[in-house]
Structure 1
């Protein structure tokens, strides 16, 4: 059997196991281990062992549990809820103001957590009931919460970009800076869409009643103080990092410590809070570690077969495709796979193929793998909210009241998916949107 046929068989076996409902890390790791034993004999038992040490020697991996813990403790202690109340008072007089405030909340939560799940949970449990009570259209609300929560995997500290950096062996600090501008552009486009929709059809997003917004100055100042805490944590954590006082890992420790101190100051730090937060942090961190380990083992076998070189010859020499055509084909494949798989599954499946191929392409600028990481992450955002198996769709259905049906949720996501696709097009047409900050920011770690 040729090496090309073996590579194709490995890929097909992995997809078959995933479709059959097996856990992602188990399916990928099983195929990697089985192929290694069949190809290299008993000596292949050292392969997973070597990948473990490669993984544990990668220092930025320590940021994963730190940022996950920080996000969970801020959400579980109610600090994020205080922030939403502040935004409600600030934007209540603007038509569509609560929806805009929700997008801003999602941006801030993204900057504290790095996961889509936390933003979705906070939006669905805090913002959704408030907007429904005030007469907002349920389809608009669903789209706002799903689209806004997806920002968590693009705006720093994005856990997905940390995962990509581990597998692609790229500096996480540069990936984060690369994702910041596209993430803010996308959030701004969401806000513009809401303003236009609310102006065209005022019934979709009524203005909050004046009596709800009229409150004593003391209460407004109290809300402002409550909302300042998340901002202060974010700017203190990232400020030390950007100005070179802390490394990437040290910055994550600063964020986790500040979040814990904030919970203590607010009087919400309890044994139940720390135990629940720690258990959730451990579960998510372990899941990512197993996924990365399986991906590294699979990539080692796959690359050893010369599969990447074979695909490069097929695309570039036999089919004579241009580099940009190949990039577009990759993006389309991500969108198709994202309809059936989550972001981590997509990455560990295609990373052995796409990462080396992107590195070989001549796109006319440096740091192509950093730029491609942003494209991949935005495509993951589309995958989160597209049928039939978009993760956020089902999470939204489980968290939303009965009056918000699955049909409403499906109808709500298309304008936001279109905005995400527009952001991908902008980053492809103007790579400096993603590359300018990484090229001009010198940071430790």
Structure 2
């Protein structure tokens, strides 16, 4: 049996196991170990052990639990509630103003969190009930929260970009900076869509009642204080890192400590908050570590087979495709996989295949990390099994059906595809800031 056929059999076996509902790390790791034993005998059993040692020696991996802890601490301590109250008062007088404020809230949460799950939880529990109570169209606001929460994996400190940087061996700082303008551009496109849609159909996003808008300027400026703590946390965490004062791990520790101090200053650092934050942090961190461990073993077997070179020869040699055609096919495959898998699973499954191929085709791997992340955002919301769709179904009130959730994401997916096209056609949108800062 040729190595190419073994690689195809290995990949198809893993996908079949995933479709049966097996845990991602279990399916990937099992296939890796079984094929290693089949190919190299008893010595193949050392592959999983070697992968675990490599994982434990990854010093940047310490950032994951610290960033996750920071996000959950900010969520559990109620700081997000204060932020939404600020956006509520300042934006509520506009048609669609609360929906615009919700996007602003999601950007702020993304800049403090790095995960889309926390943004979805905050949006569904804080913003969604308020928007529905104010008479906003349920389909539009459901799409707003799903689209806004997806920014968490693009705006720094994105945990997904940290994982990509580890697997692709790319500098985390450059990846974070590369995600800044695309993330803000995507948020601006969402806001533009809301403004235009609510101008054409004002009933979709009614403004606040007149009596609610009668808030003194003193109160409005006092509410702006809700944004001071998040800005300080973001500066101490990301700013110090970009200025070269702290390392990546140190910046994540600064963020975690800052979030804890913020909760303490707000007198919200209770025993329950600490318990829930630590429990959720432990669960998500362990999930990430198991997936990365399985991916390292899987990638080692693929490298041993020479599968990456075989795939490159297949696309370039046999099919005669150009670099851009191959890149577009890769992005389409991510969207297809996103119907069944989350972003982490997609990354660890195909990174051993795609990242070396992208480099061999002459594309910038930092830029490609941003393309991958935006494509994951789209895949998150693509029916029938987009990850965000079912998160929203689990958190939404009974009056919002699964059909409503499916319909709600159509315009936002189109907006995101347009944003992806802009970043693809104009790489400097992503690369200008890291090039400026690092002199690449």
Contact 1:80 1:230 (C-alpha < 8 Å) held by counterparts: no
Instruction: Output one character per residue of 1:146-180: Cα deviation in whole Å (capped at 9) or x when no partner.
Output: 00000000101111111111221222111111111
The answer for the alignment partner of 2:60 in structure 1 is 60
Residues 428-443 of structure 1 mapped to structure 2, 5 A cutoff: 428-442=424-438
The answer for the alignment partner of 1:420 in structure 2 is 416
The answer for the alignment partner of 1:404 in structure 2 is 400
Total equivalences in the alignment? 439
The DSSP-based 3-state class of the residue aligned with 2:438 is coil
Residues 37-436 of structure 1 mapped to structure 2, 5 A cutoff: 37-216=37-216, 219-363=219-363, 368-436=364-432
Q: Quote the offset at 1:227 in angstroms.
A: 2.9
Please report the TM-score for the alignment, with normalisation by the length of structure 1: 0.96
Q: Quote the offset at 1:210 in angstroms.
A: 2.1
Contact 2:157 2:238 (C-alpha < 8 Å) held by counterparts: no
Q: Quote the offset at 1:330 in angstroms.
A: 0.4
Distance in structure 1 (CA, Å) of the matches to 2:236 and 2:310: 48
Q: Quote the offset at 1:14 in angstroms.
A: 0.4
Q: Quote the offset at 1:220 in angstroms.
A: 3.3
Instruction: Output one character per residue of 1:210-242: Cα deviation in whole Å (capped at 9) or x when no partner.
Output: 211323555434422233211221123222122
Distance in structure 1 (CA, Å) of the matches to 2:342 and 2:258: 31
Distance in structure 2 (CA, Å) of the matches to 1:215 and 1:104: 20
Distance in structure 1 (CA, Å) of the matches to 2:5 and 2:229: 56
Unaligned 5+ segments in structure 2 are none
RMSD over aligned CA atoms reads 1.3
Distance in structure 2 (CA, Å) of the matches to 1:399 and 1:235: 32
The DSSP-based 3-state class of the residue aligned with 1:417 is helix
Distance in structure 2 (CA, Å) of the matches to 1:70 and 1:350: 29
Contact 2:113 2:157 (C-alpha < 8 Å) held by counterparts: yes
Distance in structure 2 (CA, Å) of the matches to 1:218 and 1:428: 45
Distance in structure 1 (CA, Å) of the matches to 2:384 and 2:318: 35
Contact 2:380 2:386 (C-alpha < 8 Å) held by counterparts: yes
Instruction: Output one character per residue of 1:236-279: Cα deviation in whole Å (capped at 9) or x when no partner.
Output: 32221222211111111111111100101111111111111011
Unaligned 5+ segments in structure 1 are none
Distance in structure 1 (CA, Å) of the matches to 2:129 and 2:16: 41
